[in-house]
C-alpha cells in the first residue's frame, strides 16, 4: 500500500499499520457516523449530515479513494443515520424517526427502492435521539436501540416504554418486540458465534462504568429507574467495565478465521473519547473466554486514534474505522467540520516491534496530600454536587474513577472553564413556570405529564407539564466558576491528587 498515506502520528499497539483513506472524489466525507461492510462485500458509510455512500479503490492500490452516493436521507426528510445493518441485498438504516430499508435493484450501487420497517419511536427535536446499534440476528430479525429520553425536557410520550430500550423487528416490519429496558446510549451491539448479543452502553445516568453487557431478554439494565419502576425486579449488572477509553461507539467481533495479529474472535471497540474539548479516542479489543462461571475478559488497546464513531472489518480482513472528527457538539457550533476514515492493516513484519499495552505512569500520592485534597474537596463545596462512590447521582457527575479517565491537566482545564464543553446529560435547563417562578437545574426524567428536575442542593422537583410556561437549555455549566480562587499552587496540586486517586 502507498507509504505516503501511512499515518504514523497515532500510537499503535500490536502489528498494525494505519493508513488514512485518500478519498478525493465523490461524496464529501464530513463527520462520518458509521462504517460497515454491506452487500457484495462493499464498505458502506454515512455522514452525520445524511449521505449514505460506498467506498471504492479506483486505482487498485489497496486504499479506497472514492465515495459513491448510495442514498441521501435528506431527500427523504430523514436525519441522523447512525445505525446500519444488512441482509442479502437489503440495507437497513436507523434514523432519528424511523428504521428504513434500502435496495439497489439494478446493480448500479445506488439505492432505487426504499421502505419503512419501523416508525413507532417517540420523536422530538432533541439532537440525541438515535436509532442505533443495528444488527441482523440469527433469527433474521433486525435488532436495534432507541437511545434514552431521560434528560430531554421536551420528550414525546412513550407509552410503550421503548425509548431507552433494545428492540427487534421482523424484516417486513409486521412484528416487533421490546427485549430489554434501562439502557442509555448504545452505539454498538454484535452477536458472537454462539448467538449471544453483547452491547456497550455509555457511562452516566446510573451507569457507573463504560459498560459491556450481555442481552438477557426482559431484563432492566439500570438507567432511568423512574421511567421503568414497577416493571422489573432487579438490575442486570454489566459483565465488564471498559477501560481503553471513554464513550464506546461501534463494536464488532473479529471473525475467528481472521487472525489479524492473533485477535480472531476478539470483540473490537471504537471509542469516541470525552466530548469535543479533548482530542482523544481509540480502538480497543477484548478477548472473551467462556468459563464454567460465566465469562472472562482481557482488554487491550489497539490504536489511539481520536474521535472514532464506528469500525468494521472488511472482506480482506483489515479493520476500517470512522473518524468522526470535529463537529457541532450539543448546541456549540464549530466553523469547520472534519472527519475521514482509517484502515488498520495487519503486517506480520511488525510482530513484536510495537508495544501491546500503554505505558501507565505510576502515581505515588502522599497520605498528607490526599488528606489535604479531600478536605479542600469539602471546603470548596465540590462534595455538594459530586459524589465519589460510583453510585450516587447528584447535580454533577459522580467522580469515581476520574483519575483513570482524565489526566490532571484535563481535570484542571475542566475546573477552570466548566462551560467550555458541557456533557449533554449535564446540560442546564432554565424553566419558567406559569406562576412566574424560575427554576434552574438539570432534567433527570420526563414523560407526557411531568418533568423531574434536579436543582442546586440536589433536591429533585416534579413539575407538571401544564404548569410550564417555557423551557430552554443553558449554554452555561451548573458548576461554579473560580473554584480555585485563593488556593496556593500546593493546595491546587493536593486537590488534583485527591481527584486523581478516586
User: Each residue of 99-115: pLDDT tens digit?
Assistant: 999 999 999 999 999 99
User: Each residue of 390-437: pLDDT tens digit?
Assistant: 889 899 999 999 998 899 999 999 999 998 877 777 889 999 999 999
Q: Domain segments of the chain: what residues? A: 3-350, 367-418+479-501, 424-474
Residue 105 in grid coordinates: 435493484
3-state SS record for 297-323: EEEEEEECCCCEEEEEECCCCCEEEEE
- Say which residue the cell 452505539 belongs to: 187
d(CA 46, CA 70): 10
d(CA 321, CA 269): 10
Which residues on neighbouring strands pair with residue 210, listed in sequence order? none
CATH class as words, domain 367-418+479-501: mainly alpha
Residue 237 in grid coordinates: 449488572
Q: What Rg do the C-alpha atoms of the chain give, in angstroms? A: 23
DSSP 124-178: -S-TT--EEEEEE-TTSPEEEEE---TT-TTPPP-TT--TTEEEEE-TTSS-EEE
What is the CATH architecture assignment of 3-350?
6 Propeller (2.120)
Question: What is this structure's pTM?
Answer: 0.91
Q: Is 212 exposed, middle or buried (0-12, 13-18, 19+ CB in 10 A)?
A: buried
Going by CATH, does the domain composed of 424-474 fall within 2.30.30.100? Answer: yes
User: What dihedral do alpha carbons 312, 313, 314, 316 form, nearest 10°?
Assistant: 170
Packing angle, helices 408-416 and 489-501, rounded to 10:
110
212 touches 297 (CB < 8 A):
yes
User: Each residue of 161-217: pLDDT tens digit?
Assistant: 999 999 999 999 999 999 999 999 999 999 999 999 999 999 988 899 999 999 999
Closest C-alpha to 144, from 103, 115, 104, 173: 173
Mean pLDDT for 266-289 is 92
Amino acid at each position: 500500500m502507498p507509504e505516503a498515506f501511512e499515518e504514523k502520528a497515532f500510537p499503535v499497539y500490536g502489528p498494525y499499520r494505519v493508513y488514512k483513506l485518500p478519498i478525493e472524489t465523490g461524496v464529501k466525507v464530513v463527520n462520518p457516523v458509521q462504517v460497515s461492510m454491506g452487500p457484495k462485500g462493499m464498505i458502506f458509510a454515512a455522514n452525520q449530515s445524511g449521505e449514505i455512500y460506498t467506498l471504492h479503490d479506483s486505482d487498485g492500490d489497496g486504499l479506497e479513494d472514492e465515495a459513491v452516493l448510495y442514498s441521501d436521507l435528506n431527500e427523504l426528510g430523514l436525519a441522523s443515520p447512525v445505525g446500519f445493518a444488512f441482509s442479502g441485498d437489503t440495507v437497513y438504516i436507523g434514523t432519528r424517526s424511523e428504521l428504513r430499508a434500502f435496495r439497489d435493484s439494478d446493480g448500479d450501487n445506488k439505492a432505487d427502492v426504499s421502505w419503512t420497517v419501523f416508525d413507532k419511536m417517540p420523536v422530538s427535536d432533541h439532537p440525541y435521539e438515535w436509532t442505533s446499534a443495528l444488527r441482523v440476528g440469527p433469527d433474521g430479525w433486525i435488532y436495534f436501540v432507541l437511545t434514552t429520553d431521560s434528560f430531554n425536557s421536551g420528550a414525546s410520550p412513550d407509552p410503550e416504554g421503548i425509548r431507552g430500550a433494545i428492540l427487534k423487528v421482523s424484516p417486513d416490519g409486521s412484528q416487533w418486540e421490546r427485549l430489554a429496558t434501562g439502557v442509555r446510549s448504545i452505539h454498538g451491539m454484535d452477536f458472537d458465534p454462539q448467538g449471544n448479543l453483547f452491547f456497550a452502553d455509555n457511562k452516566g445516568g446510573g451507569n457507573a462504568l463504560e459498560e459491556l453487557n450481555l442481552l438477557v431478554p426482559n431484563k432492566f439494565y439500570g438507567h432511568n429507574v423512574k421511567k421503568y419502576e414497577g416493571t422489573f425486579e432487579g438490575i442486570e449488572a454489566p459483565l465488564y467495565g471498559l477501560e481503553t477509553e471513554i464513550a464506546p461507539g461501534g463494536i464488532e467481533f473479529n471473525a475467528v478465521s481472521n487472525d489479524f495479529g492473533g485477535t480472531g474472535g476478539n470483540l473490537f471497540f471504537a471509542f469516541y473519547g470525552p466530548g469535543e474539548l479533548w482530542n482523544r479516542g481509540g480502538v480497543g479489543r477484548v478477548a472473551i473466554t467462556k468459563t464454567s462461571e460465566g465469562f472472562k475478559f482481557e482488554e487491550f488497546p489497539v490504536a489511539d486514534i481520536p474521535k472514532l464513531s464506528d469500525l468494521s472489518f472488511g472482506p480482506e480482513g483489515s479493520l476500517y474505522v470512522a473518524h468522526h472528527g470535529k463537529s457541532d457538539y450539543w448546541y456549540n457550533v464549530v466553523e469547520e467540520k472534519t472527519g475521514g476514515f482509517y484502515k488498520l492493516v495487519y503486517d506480520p513484519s511488525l510482530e513484536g516491534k510495537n508495544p501491546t499495552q500503554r505505558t501507565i505512569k505510576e502515581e505515588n500520592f502522599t497520605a498528607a496530600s490526599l488528606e489535604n485534597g479531600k478536605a479542600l474537596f469539602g471546603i470548596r463545596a465540590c462534595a455538594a454536587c459530586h459524589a465519589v462512590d460510583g453510585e450516587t447521582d447528584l447535580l454533577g457527575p459522580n467522580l469515581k474513577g476520574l483519575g483513570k479517565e482524565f489526566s490532571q491537566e484535563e481535570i484542571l482545564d475542566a475546573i477552570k472553564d466548566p462551560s467550555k464543553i458541557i456533557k449533554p446529560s449535564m446540560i442546564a435547563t432554565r424553566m419558567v413556570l406559569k406562576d412566574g417562578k424560575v427554576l434552574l437545574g438539570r432534567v433527570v426524567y420526563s414523560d407526557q405529564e411531568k418533568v423531574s428536575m434536579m436543582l442546586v442542593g440536589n433536591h429533585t422537583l416534579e413539575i407538571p407539564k401544564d404548569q410550564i410556561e417555557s423551557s430552554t437549555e443553558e449554554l452555561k455549566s451548573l458548576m461554579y466558576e473560580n473554584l480555585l480562587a485563593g488556593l496556593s499552587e500546593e493546595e491546587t496540586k493536593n486537590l488534583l491528587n485527591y481527584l486523581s486517586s478516586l
